[in-house]
Amino acid sequence: MLTCSKVNLSLAVTAKRPDGYHDLDSLFYPFRNPSDEITLKDAPAASGVTIRCDAPGVPLEPEKNLCGKAVYAYCKAAGMNVPGLVIHLEKHIPVAAGMGGGSADCATVLRLLQERFHALSQEQLEVTAFSLGADVPFFLNPRPSHVTGAGERIVPVDGLPERLPLLLAAPQFPVSAAWAYQHMDLARAVAEPPRTNELIDALRSLDYESAAQFMRNDLEHALFDKFPLLVLLRRFLLENGALRVMVSGSGPTLLALFRDDAAAQAAYARADAEFDPSVRFILPA
């Protein structure tokens, strides 16, 4: 099964919760490409869960890999013994990049197990997903969504364009979501009310100039302070026609919004020629 990836077209942090999570007000937008591919194969029960994956930075121990964690959590919620399984994970979504790759893999394994065993109700599946990570419930049914709470309140948003004139720039270094949240300016974030509904209206009317004004990521200031490459990339993209350049999720991937697809493609061609392969440019679809 193919997974999706996502960007946050806006990510406003509205509060810090006693459980350590943050409350968000965010517009999640999924892509079919880039995606990972996951297959499950049966194995003898005694051999437990095995993860096969070639990508660097992805743990293979099933207790650490989000695919393995999904199997354990599903079986625990269903009161089942853990079956013997080999999970093949073909990774294309940049790792620890703010594009939700691990969360997408995790949700996809939950969906595959549910297809096989039908052992949980939809509500149990959603609760299990949330217990595995704040972004996991979104990937149970990825569609453009206004997400609040810590990620568990998901309202699908209709009427957004099927495709947005976006270019992604993914530098090949990881940023942990925990680091990004620890270094954010919480007081500054909560002082500014979210404008997600205005962003949604602007996107629905294909008014990208206005949409650019409402895009926001409260985690990005710490990333631009720490990583000069991101400042350089942002400047390059703005000089090459981007209306707005912002960090996605907890970064370091940047998303750049353009006037139209042609402008995004022209910037892609120039960026790909200008930067070395340590930055991956992606026209998401």
Write out the catalytic residue numbers. Answer: 6, 135
Answer whether 85's CB lies under 8 Å from 40's CB.
yes
- Provide the minimum distance between the beta carbon of 281 and ligand ATP in the complex, in angstroms, as a whole number: 17
User: Least CB distance from residue 159 to ligand ATP, whole Å?
Assistant: 25
Q: Which positions from 149 through 178 interact with ligand ATP, judged by CB under 6 A?
A: 174, 177
Chain centre distance of CA 180: 14
Binding to ligand ATP by CB under 6 A, coded x per residue (else -) over 185-224, reads ----------------------------------------
Pair type for strands 145-149 and 153-156: antiparallel
**Sign of CA pseudo-dihedral 267, 101, 117, 52:** positive
Please say which residue, 90 or 261, places its beta carbon nearer to ligand ATP. Answer: 90
| In the complex, minimum distance from the CB of residue 80 to ligand ATP, in angstroms, rounded to a whole number | 22
Q: Applying CB under 6 A, which of residues 103, 108, 217, 240 lies at the interface with ligand ATP?
A: 103
Nearer to ligand ATP, 88 or 204 (CB): 88
Q: How far is the CB of 205 from ligand ATP (least distance, A)?
A: 28
Helix and strand element counts for the chain (H, E): 10, 12
Q: How many residues bind ligand ATP (CB under 6 A)?
A: 23
The nearest distance, CB 204 to ligand ATP, in angstroms, is: 25
Does position 96 bind ligand ATP by CB under 6 A?
Answer: yes
Residue nearest to ligand ATP (CB): 102
* Candidates 80-88, 91-99, 187-195, 273-281; binding stretch for ligand ATP (CB under 6 A): 91-99
Q: Are 100 and 249 in contact (CB under 8 A)?
A: yes
Name residues contacting ligand ATP, limited to 39-68 (CB under 6 A). Answer: 57-59, 65-67
| φ, ψ of residue 72 in degrees (nearest 5) | -60, -45
- Binding to ligand ATP in span 218-257, by CB under 6 A: 249-250
In order, the DSSP letters of 15-83 are: EE-TTS-EEEEEEEEEESSS--EEEEEE--GGG-EEEE---TT---STTTSHHHHHHHHHHHHHT-PPP
CB 100 within 8 A of CB 31: no
Instruction: Count CB neighbours of 121 within 10 A.
Output: 11
Best CA proximity match to 114, nearest among 158, 165, 80, 155: 80
Residue 95 Ramachandran class (φ > 0 left, ψ -120 to 50 alpha, else beta): beta
Q: Which is nearer to ligand ATP, 126 or 135 (CB)?
A: 135
99 binds ligand ATP, rule: CB under 6 A: yes
Q: Which segment (96-104, 115-123, 182-190, 226-234) binds ligand ATP by CB under 6 A? A: 96-104
Q: Which of 87, 97, 147, 168 binds ligand ATP (CB under 6 A)?
A: 97
Cβ-based nearer residue to ligand ATP, 30 or 101: 101
Is the backbone peptide bond immediately before 34 cis, with ω within 30 degrees of 0? yes
* Binding-site ranges for ligand ATP (CB under 6 A): 57-59, 65-67, 89, 95-103, 105, 133, 135, 174, 177, 249-250
